[in-house]
Amino acid sequence: MSKKKKELFREDRSSVNGERVSMNIALSPENKKFLKIYAAEHDTTVAAVIAKCVEKLKKETER
């Protein structure tokens, strides 16, 4: 297994234990505003919205 894959696997395993890692992303001002409003309207956080989207994408690609 390559070093990069090992690092990705290690990060993925950390989420199984409930741990989180930080990540910086660049968004357009409009998308940032949308995410913040969406999260507020759904009584959640932007991080939770993104995590849910990632989980959905993972399920879609496991087919």
Q: Among 52, 33, 54, which Cα is nearest to 44's?
A: 52
Q: What is the distance between the alpha carbons of residues 50 and 59, in angstroms, rounded to a whole number?
A: 14
Task: Give residue 56's pLDDT.
Answer: 95
Tens digit of each residue's pLDDT (9 = 90 or more) over 2-50: 665 555 555 555 455 578 889 999 999 999 999 999 999 999 999 999 9
Task: Give residue 62's pLDDT.
Answer: 85
pTM exceeds cut of 0.85:
no
Collapsing DSSP states into helix, strand and coil, what is residue 42? coil
CA atoms within 13 A on the CB side of 32: 6
- Is the pLDDT score of 55 beyond 60? yes
Task: Give residue 20's pLDDT.
Answer: 83
Structural domain boundaries of the chain? 23-63
